[in-house]
Amino acid sequence: MTETILANATLVLPDEMRKGGLVFRDGQIAEIFGGSAVPAGALDCAGDLVMPGLIELHTDNLERHIQPRPRVDWPHASAIIAHDAELASVGITTVFDALRVGSVTGKKANYGEYARALADEILDLRAQGVLRISHLLHLRAEVCSETLVEEMAKFGPDDSVGIVSLMDHTPGERQFRDLSKLRDYVCGKHGMTEQDFIEHVAGQRALRARLGALHEATAVAEARRYGAVLASHDDTTAPQVAVSAGHGTGFAEFPTTEEAARACHDHGIAVMMGAPNLIRGGSHSGNVAAQHLAEQGLLDILSSDYVPSALLSAALMLGDLWGDLPRGIATVTAAPARATGLTDRGQIAPGLRADVIRVTRIGTAGAVRGLWVAGERH
């Protein structure tokens, strides 16, 4: 039997903060005790926050490691290991690695197929015990594509696909209703010329008209086949949310308006917003601010999106905003666990996995001083 004791901590429990400590045995939280005493052999946390490990549902971070510069492809094993280490360093103990399925062919396309091969590499490294944290898969099903049906058929129930998100990036809809914002984004990211942009818009709209209905139905059916949770993406209007609800959506990624977020709650769909949106004070796409939704009681889950370190900082900010730190921390622990059916983690409670982090507050941010995954320190 292996045992670890954390003592003299400020425990972030589901509904309260409490001075005390934890005992881990064989990968699980075995005991919670009170007081500031430090038993023999225990780690003295010196009053630091001790909370559940963070759970990340949607991150573009792996893409950044695989392609650190435009048209620069990095060796995948090294990229995956570096991505894993970065997430561990900022307190994330479970990640759903987001992989796009659905590609566009042609000489000017930037969207070649990659998901199946990269998933195999992630799952192989996980099986070897190389990775520090828990890795599951999130398939981002691109409706505006040519190969979605074929790509999704290559995955199955044994591939640890926990989330399928229905992505509709039709220009002028959802995230980029303002085409000038889309122009700034794609021309900056992909180096498109004005003519390239015009052709991109026309091509995406044509794909949506020709294959959108088939691809939407395929993504919904495949999520069921995998046993994955279905997520909507960039819902903008109440009618769009009603469609998402009809598909059986479990949570909504980044609704772009208060109308959509409110409709999600009316349908019992959890609302996820980007931590960078909260920290920056608004959306880089000009959509609804995460803080506004938080103030309206319409924010349930945070995602780091494109900045892994944002997850912890934003949860602490929400705790301060609401005057309720456990509630803020729940947006990155209990709520994402609940949304994805992870019943073995996301809270500090006896019998759950010992996925735990130790955090020192530094102003509005926090520094991770210790991370345990299934009771093992990393």
Domain count, the chain: 2
Distinct helix (H) and strand (E) counts, the chain: 13, 16
Q: 327: domain range?
A: 54-344
Q: Is 231 in the same domain as 335?
A: yes
Higher pLDDT, 3 or 196: 3
The reported pTM is: 0.91
- Confidence bin at 191 (pLDDT 50/70/90): low
Taking CA atoms, 137 is separated from 30, 115, 118, 323, 376, in Å, by: 29, 10, 11, 34, 22
What is the model's pLDDT at position 208?
A: 77
The mean pLDDT of the chain is 92
The arithmetic mean of pLDDT across residues 336-357, rounded, is 98
Q: Is 207 in the same domain as 318?
A: yes
**CATH number for the domain that contains residue 174:** 3.20.20.140
Q: Is 356 in the same domain as 376?
A: yes
Least reliable range by pLDDT among 122-136, 205-219, 293-307: 205-219
What is the model's pLDDT at position 152?
A: 98
Taking CA atoms, 201 is separated from 35, 211, 236, 255, in Å, by: 61, 16, 19, 22
Buried b (16+ CB within 10 A) or exposed e, 125-142: bbeeeebbbbbbbbbbbb
Least reliable range by pLDDT among 178-192, 209-223, 332-346: 178-192
pLDDT of 60 strictly over 70: yes
Q: Is 190 in the same domain as 318?
A: yes
Q: For 130-153, write each residue's pLDDT tens digit.
A: 999 999 999 999 988 889 999 999
248: left (phi over 0), alpha (psi -120 to 50) or beta: left
Q: Where are the beta strands (DSSP E) in the chain?
A: 3-12, 17-25, 28-34, 43-44, 49-52, 54-59, 92-101, 134-142, 161-167, 229-233, 251-253, 270-274, 301-303, 356-362, 365-373, 376-377
Q: Where are the beta strands (DSSP E) in 74-133?
A: 92-101
What is the model's pLDDT at position 206?
A: 74
The arithmetic mean of pLDDT across residues 283-303, rounded, is 94
Neighbouring residues of 183: CB distance < 8 A, sequence distance ≥ 6: 197
Q: Is 143 in the same domain as 30?
A: no
Q: For 80-134, write each residue's pLDDT tens digit.
A: 999 999 999 999 999 999 999 998 876 555 578 999 999 999 999 999 999 999 9
Q: Is 323 in the same domain as 359?
A: no
